[in-house]
Amino acid sequence: MFKLIKNLKKIDILYILLVAGLVVLQVWLDIKIPDYTRAITSELQRPQTGALVGHPEWTVRVSVILQNGGFMLACALGSLASAIIVGYLTAKIASRFSYTLREKIYNKVQNFSLSEINQFSTASLITRTTNDVTQVQFFIAMGLQVLLKAPVMAIWALTKMLNVSWQWSLATGVTICLLIVMISIVVIFAIPKFKKIQTLTDNLNRVTRENLTGIRVIRAANAEDYQNAKFEKSNQELTSNNLFASRVMGIMSPGMSLLMSSLSLSIFWIGAYIVKDSTMLDFMISFMSYSVQIVMAFMLLIMIFIMLPRVLVSSKRINEVLDSKNAIESGVFEGAEEREKVPVVTFRNVSFKYPDADEYVLKDISFEANEGETVAFIGSTGSGKSTLINLIPRLYDATEGDVLIEGVNIKEYDLTRLNQMIGYVPQRGVLFKGMVKENVNFGDNNASEEVIKKAISTAQASSFVTKMGGLESEISQGGTNVSGGQKQRLSIARAIAREPQIFIFDDSFSALDYKTDKKLREALKKHTGSATKFIVAQRIGTIKDADKIVVLDSGNMVGIGTHEELLKTCPIYKEIALSQLSKEEL
């Protein structure tokens, strides 16, 4: 929790100092009220010698009572005003603090590589950004008031009551000890459950997210009962832990009520023996007020201890994200003003394995791609095609060897500049809620409407975009109102609109029919003549016109060349080709 405090801004620290001052003022006003109560009680119990209305002594007596009553009212109103201001300031501090935390977590996650996202899981990152931050926010809003007020109130009240009677002080001390024992029991049993609750919340979010995103598959497979059972199990585990924690916390309220009532009874019972005159009776009344304030202070602290276990877990989870070291760090190179005559992309003895994995996914890959060339990758499922091209935009970094762009290691490039050079289209087209033109002209690309239309035309998406209503037509979240092929074409149009030096198509034509696929590749070749293109594909028809075809098998490069060359020199490529086309077609 303390590591998170460094995220407070200077203005928030000033607010906290102001809150501390107002809390001290509030406690002082609360402590003064019993003094005026004792003064009024003492005045009422003073022997009367002139009881008639209008008698000078009666007039003095009424004025003393009214004066002390006025002071009591002023203290109460002052305490109320302080409490309102403190509540406003603490809410402001907590809200700004949570805003800062959410922003930092979001920015941190934006710079995560795929390995780090997989390490935390998407569901967990969402929970940490929302639920965990909310827990911390609520704790700060309450804690700033309670943690400052409770100790000041307890110490101040104790100093006021210690000189009155050791018997009453002893009764109050025993009550406080019992409260501390109760807090300890609750903390011991509650903390492990609260730790588990946050993990179970992640799991419930994951199951719910899977169910929503895979609803079509679930219905098609008649797997509703199976998914319901998974959800029921996750929900039951979370509910059971919440119930246990709530039951433990449920002991607190009746326990505190019992202790407060017992303390009041003890004070009256002891008072029956030690009160000998009216002066002692005045002190008993004020002592009662002080003891109630002390117990209230500890009750406030108990509220914090109730919240503390869950907040500590949430703080740890937030710090795990903020303190995680990015596996991929940005370089500073932004590209040379004059391009040298070197290959646009070079793979030099590149090997790769996933973090914490023993087996290499790619082994000793070397090839070059020159300006304007189309380099295609083919191989069986799991041969490493997508992993290989993901090394170019640094979604992962090579474990061994070097990937160069224009003769410079990509690790030396500024990530923003590197992303500007690359137009990346994943296998699964990703669209965002908004208009068609916002999805095509996405990110830092300030393309004109003419460029957007040209990109859509090149991607063979003009016909269905026109039917949808043009560039202003809406795309729903995740692109659920368009088909898979339409989604892929809009994703391709987005890459084209960026006009990058390097295109990467990760099996981005898989949802297209052969006719559209052919038209798109022809338009792409015409529109992006000078750009270097990397294509991962399963269909021979998509890649047979490529300048170079790289054949992968179990992470090894087993062939490289043109379609005609590989038919003669690479048995694996020939086997793949014959499985799709006849000898005559080849």
Residue pLDDT, tens place only, 143-159: 888 877 777 777 777 77
pLDDT value for 278? 52
Span 247-275, pLDDT tens digits: 777 777 777 778 778 877 887 787 777 76
Half-sphere exposure of 551 (CA within 13 A, CB side): 20
Regarding pTM above 0.75, the answer is no
Q: At residue 259, what are phi and psi to the nearest 5 degrees? A: -65, -40
Distance spanning both ends of the chain, measured CA to CA: 66
Q: What is the DSSP letter of 111?
A: T
Both structure tokens of 507: 């099996």
Taking 80 as the threshold, does the pLDDT of residue 308 lie above it? no
- Residue 169 reports pLDDT greater than 80: no
Position 504 pLDDT exceeds 70: yes
Higher pLDDT, 76 or 60: 76
Grade residue 345 by pLDDT with cuts at 50, 70 and 90: very high
For residue 228, give the 3-state DSSP assignment: helix
- DSSP assignment of 347-404: EEEEEE--TT-SS-SEEEEEEEE-TT-EEEEEESTTSSHHHHHHTTTTSS--SEEEEE
Single out the residue of 281, 258, 300 nearest to residue 148, CA to CA: 300
The percentage of the chain sitting over the pLDDT mark of 70, rounded to a whole number, equals 90
In the chain, the amino acid numbered 460 is Q
Q: Is the separation of the CB atoms in 489 and 459 below 8 Å?
A: yes
**Nearest CA among 142, 106, 105 for reference residue 317:** 105
- The full DSSP string for 262-294 is HHHHHHHHHHHHH--SHHHHHHHHHHHHHHHHH
Q: Round to whole Å and give the CA distance between 389 and 396.
A: 10
Mode of pairing for the β-strands spanning 408-409 and 400-405: antiparallel
- For residue 99, the one-letter residue type is Y
Taking the CA of residue 174 as centre, how many other CA atoms within 13 Å lie in the half-sphere pointing to its CB? Answer: 12
Neighbours of 76 (CB within 10 A): 14
- Residue whose C-alpha is closest to residue 502's, from 344, 350, 339, 337: 344
What pLDDT, on the 0 to 100 scale, is given for residue 529? 75
d(CA 386, CA 378): 10
Q: Name every residue whose Cβ is closer than 8 Å to that of residue 375 and which is 6 or more positions away in sequence.
A: 345, 367, 369, 532, 533, 534, 535, 546, 547, 548, 549, 550
Which value, to the nearest 10 degrees, does the dihedral of the CA atoms of residues 553, 559, 564, 565 take?
A: -160
Q: The tokens 């109320």 sit on which residue?
A: 80
Distance CA 485, CA 488 (A): 5
Domains within the chain, CATH numbers bracketed? 2-323 (1.20.1560.10), 345-580 (3.40.50.300)
| Coil/strand/helix, residue 345 | strand
Q: For the residues 180-192, what does the mean pLDDT come to?
A: 75
- Beta strands 400-405 and 345-352, pairing class: antiparallel
pLDDT at 351 over 90: yes
Check whether 494 has a pLDDT greater than 80: yes
Identify the pLDDT of residue 328: 76
What span, in angstroms and rounded, lies between the C-alpha atoms of 272 and 284? 10
| 146: amino acid identity, one letter | V
Distance between CA atoms of 188 and 184, rounded to whole angstroms?
6
| Integer angstrom CA distances of residue 304 from 140, 148, 263, 307, 310 | 10, 11, 22, 5, 11
Residue labelled with tokens 């949808």: 468
Closest CA to 344 of 406, 412, 410: 406
Is the pLDDT at 55 greater than 60? The verdict is: no
Taking 80 as the threshold, does the pLDDT of residue 116 lie above it?
no
pLDDT in tens, 353-384: 987 778 899 999 999 999 889 999 998 888 88
pLDDT at 557: 92
Polymer length in residues for the chain: 586
pLDDT at 43 over 80: no
Answer positive or negative: Cα dihedral of 113, 114, 120, 124.
positive
Is residue 426 a contact partner of residue 506, using CB atoms and an 8 Å limit? Answer: yes
Q: Does residue 279 register a pLDDT over 80?
A: no
> What average pLDDT does this structure show over 28-57?
67
The 10s digit of each residue's pLDDT in 520-545 is 888 888 888 789 999 998 888 888 88
Question: How many CA atoms lie less than 13 Å away from 102 in the CB half-sphere?
Answer: 17
Phi, psi of 236 (to 5 degrees): -65, -40
357: left (phi over 0), alpha (psi -120 to 50) or beta: beta
Which residue type occupies 301? L
pLDDT digits 0-9 by tens, 390-446: 999 988 889 999 999 988 899 999 888 888 889 999 888 888 888 888 888 887 667
Name residues whose C-beta falls within 8 Å of residue 281's C-beta, 6 or more positions apart in sequence.
Answer: 41, 45, 271, 275
| Beta-strand relationship, 374-379 and 422-425 | unpaired
Strand partners for 503: 423, 533
Mean per-residue pLDDT, 293-315: 75
Q: In one letter, which amino acid is 141? A: A
Inter-axis angle of helices 252-274 and 166-213, to 10 degrees? 170
- 93 contacts 100 by C-beta, under 8 angstroms: no
